Structure formats: structure tokens, C-alpha cells
Amino acid sequence: MDNTQTLTDQYPQVKEMMAKKPIFWKNPDYGKSADLPFSKEEIFDAVARWDRFAPFIEAAFPETANMHGIIESPLIRLDKMKQLFNQDHQTAIAGSLFLKADSQLPISGSIKSRGGIYEVLKFAEHVALTKGNLKPTDNYAILRSPKYKQLFAQYGVMVASTGNLALSVGIAASTFGFKTTVYMSRDAKEWKKAKLRANGVNVVELDTDFSSVIPKAREAAAKDDQIHFIDDEGSRDLFIGYAVAGVRLKKQLDDLNIKVDQNHPVVVYLPAGVGGSPSGVTFGLKTIIGENIHAIFCEPTHVPSVTLGMMTKLNNEISVFDIGLDGKTAADGLAVGRPSRIAGKVMRTLLFGSTTFQDPTIYKYEAQLMDTEHITVEPSAAAGFTAIERAITEVPDFNSENATHIVWATGGSMMPESERRVDHAKGEALLKS
């Protein structure tokens, strides 16, 4: 993108983004009618596939036994965190505050468990149905047998990731017996690389940003027709895997008697990197729960890739590097310079808006969440808290006593204790400064 002057003239907030200033962008196309490339039927097809695989998951991952092989996270009320938030901010939260703790999802401890594991399941099912003798009515625990292990070993699964998608795909695929390779960027955490290697995954490290890693991984996968490449920039299966969250959250809201209507809005705050997982979740929420649940994406000021793509309507045809940003952030899961091919197009009418934040703030919220609620998240997973004050200030309807605010914690429960202590110390120091 050579002519940034044209962009800043047409979209003045781009100038603020170039200056790394936090912004609140309200999507002018929100709520308009649109033909979407996904359907409610696809979501329920995915729900049924998860159900078929539940016996396999329960047997392969004992930590899922209490949920009988269903991978889901709790919805946690944050009364203490809300109290502290209201003490620290000029605009107090009038409604209730919850955490959707995808940081506690089993197997990989992040939101990527939804999409990444789902796509591995779908590929495994395809192989077993077409190359084995599996029937959809079988107990899928049979897929743990030596016979299927040998079958799966003839195939490979490959993915590019800064970390969390790698963990979900890598652990799931290696458990089936697939030859599993993960391409990772320089932003990836060392402990995530180590965990993958401990699970028998081949980790290929490239000294570049994430946007440059994906095409290299895609090219490598294309050389072998026995390899299934999981494309974080454009996979339909990933997207639908994330969308199942809409079904699951609706049940949780119903169980807690939380109304969702015009007088009882629900606002969901989702960290965004490449944008695939928050977009899939948002599609699921809007499709299953309806028009009165509103999604806001949260991105670092140095890497506002989805916001930039959607604001300019260029989507994946523009990168943050095109407007002079460096793409550097402590939120490693969000360090993606170019958005998903799917995110902007599908979110055009479904996303309420987005906010950007400066890195130090996420360490503060990460520490406060631990201090008040004893919940561990990684820095990027605390991003949702950064958007609340701007949202309730800019949109007064969101700050009624009847409103429900849900911060989507995208990862962190598998962080090593040593790393958690370092992050907490950073947050505490910033809170005292």
C-alpha cells in the first residue's frame, strides 16, 4: 500500500492507528443484511461431529471425563474484578461482568481448541470413513485402536501458528497418530514449542513474522497430497469449529437465566489476531443467539490488522506494515500483521466494532484477574478488559443495569508458573507506577 495519504483522507482513524493511538471503531455496516457463506446448518453439523467424537476424546484425554468428552469452558461471574474495575475507571460498569474462560479449555488451554481440534477431528473422520471401515454409527473410541493408528500414520497434518493454534492442532493430530508439523514465527513462546516437541510434533521455526510463515507452510504442504494443511487465514472448518461456541454459550446463558433482548444487551469482547477465531465465534453468537448480542474485537495498537482491514474495506489486501507499523506486541497470540481472508468479509455486517490497546494495559488486567478471582490468563487473553470502558462510554445503551459484559479469555491456563510470575510482576509494577 503506497498511498497512505488517500487512506487517511478517507478514513481519518487510520492516521490515529499509524500514530499507535488507542481507538474505538464503530462498524458503519453493522446490522445490515448480507448473504453469508456459512449457515446455521453447518454449525449444527459440527455440533453432531463433536458428539460423535466425544467417546474418543474422553478416552484419549482423561481431563475431559467430567464433560464426557465434550470440550467446553465455564462462564464465570467476575464480581470482584468488576468492583476493582469500577474503582479504577471513570466510567463504572452498571451491568454484570463475566469471563468466558476459554483459557481453561482442555487439551490446549485456549480458544484454538474449538477450531483447531475440530478441523483435526473432521479430517480424521474423513480418512477413517473413506480409507478405513468406520461408520458414523460406530463408537468413535475405536479410532484409538492400533489399526486406525497405522492408517492415520500414513497421513500428515500441517499448520502455521504463533502458538495456540499450534498446540491445539499439534496435540490433537499427534494423538490420532498423524505425522504432525507446525511452522512457527519468531513471536512464538519457547514453552509452547517445548510442549509441542514433547508431544511428538515436528516444529519448524522461521525467523519472520507470522504473516510470512503461513505461505511458506502452505507451500511445503502442497508438495505432499497426503498432508492436510490447516489454513488459519481461510479455513472453513476452523471457522465453523469456532462457531459452535454460539450453541454452547446460549445454553450457559439460559442456565444462568440471563436474558438477551433489546433491553438486555450482551456485549462480548474478543481478542483478535488473524481474526479467524473471534470471527467464527461472532458468527456463531449472532446466528444462534441473535441480534442483541454484540461483539467487539480487541487488538494491539502495533498490530490492528483486522480493524485496519475492515475499516478500509481492503480486508486481507492490506497489512499493518503497509501503514508503517512494526507488528510488535507482548500479546504473542495477536501478533499477526495481515488478517484472515474470511474475517473481514463475514464480519462486515456482524461485528459491532473494535478497539485497540497499548501493551502495558494487558499486564495490568492479567494481574488484577489473578489477584481478584485467582484466574490465570496469558497477556493476549486479557485484551477484552481494555475495551470495556470505551464501549460503555461510546455506547450508553451498553451500560445499563440490564447489560451483560463477557470478556473472552482466549488462553493461558497452560502457561508455566515461571512465566505467569513474570507477567504478574510486570502487571503489579505497572499498577503501582
Residues 232 and 334 in one domain: no
- Which residue type, as a one-letter code, is found at position 49? R
Q: pLDDT tens, 144-186? A: 999 999 999 999 999 998 788 999 999 999 999 999 999 998 7
pLDDT over 70 at 83, yes or no: yes
Residues 126 and 81 in one domain: no
- In angstroms, the CA 27 to CA 405 distance is 19
pLDDT over 90 at 413, yes or no: no
Residues 257 and 388 in one domain: yes
Residues 193 and 48 in one domain: yes
Query: What is the pLDDT at residue 90?
Result: 94
CATH number at residue 24: 3.40.50.1100
Query: What total number of domains does the chain contain?
Result: 2
According to DSSP, residue 154 is labeled T
- Of 238, 270, 299, the position where a domain reaches its end is 238
Residues 128 and 234 in one domain: yes
Residues 315 and 367 in one domain: yes
Q: Which residues contact 420 (CB under 8 A, 6 or more apart)?
A: 370, 376
Given 3-state DSSP classes, what are the helix, strand and coil percentages for the chain, each rounded to the nearest 5? 50, 15, 35
Q: pLDDT tens, 345-385? A: 999 999 999 999 999 999 999 999 999 999 999 999 999 99
Name the pLDDT band for 208 (thresholds 50, 70, 90).
Answer: confident
- In angstroms, the CA 327 to CA 336 distance is 7
Directed axis angle between helix 245-255 and helix 40-60, to 10°? 80
- In angstroms, the CA 182 to CA 166 distance is 6
Residues 96 and 154 in one domain: no
Residues 310 and 413 in one domain: yes
Q: Which residue has the higher pLDDT, 414 or 11?
A: 11
CB distance 183 to 213 below 8 Å: yes
Rg (CA), the chain: 21
Q: What is the dihedral of CA 315, 316, 320, 326, to 10 degrees?
A: 160
DSSP string, 332-363: GGG--SS--TTHHHHHTTT--EEEEE-HHHHH
Query: What is the pLDDT at residue 348?
Result: 97
Residues 398 and 419 in one domain: yes
- Of 238, 256, 289, the position where a domain reaches its end is 238
- In angstroms, the CA 297 to CA 307 distance is 8
C-alpha cell at 272: 483478535
CB distance 316 to 233 below 8 Å: yes
CB distance 144 to 176 below 8 Å: no
Name the pLDDT band for 2 (thresholds 50, 70, 90).
Answer: low
According to DSSP, residue 113 is labeled I
Residues 382 and 289 in one domain: yes
Query: What is the pLDDT at residue 234?
Result: 85
DSSP string, 290-340: -TTEEEEEEEETT--HHHHHHHHT-GGG--GGGGT-----S-GGG--SS--
Q: Which residue has the higher pLDDT, 138 or 3?
A: 138
Cβ–Cβ contacts within 10 Å for residue 395, how many?
Answer: 18
- Which residue type, as a one-letter code, is found at position 241? G
Q: Which residues contact 2 (CB under 8 A, 6 or more apart)?
A: none
C-alpha cell at 145: 485402536
Which residue range(s) make up the domain with 389? Answer: 4-38+70-106+243-432
pLDDT over 80 at 209, yes or no: no
- In angstroms, the CA 92 to CA 70 distance is 36
- Of 238, 253, 276, the position where a domain reaches its end is 238
Query: What is the pLDDT at residue 233?
Result: 81
pLDDT over 70 at 142, yes or no: yes
Phi, psi of 341 (to 5 degrees): -65, -25
**Average predicted confidence (pLDDT) for the chain:** 95
Residues 347 and 417 in one domain: yes
Q: pLDDT tens, 84-132? A: 999 999 999 999 999 999 999 999 999 999 999 999 999 999 999 999 9
- Alpha carbon of 429 to those of 36, 88, 176, 248, 368: distances in Å? 46, 16, 44, 37, 12
Q: pLDDT tens, 42-55? A: 999 999 999 999 99
CB distance 141 to 165 below 8 Å: no
CB distance 157 to 228 below 8 Å: yes
- In angstroms, the CA 393 to CA 183 distance is 41
Name the pLDDT band for 332 (thresholds 50, 70, 90).
Answer: confident
Residues 360 and 427 in one domain: yes
Query: What is the pLDDT at residue 186?
Result: 78
**pTM (predicted TM-score):** 0.96
- Which residue type, as a one-letter code, is found at position 14? V
pLDDT over 60 at 1, yes or no: no
- In this prediction, residues 224-241 reach a mean pLDDT of 93
Query: What is the pLDDT at residue 210?
Result: 73
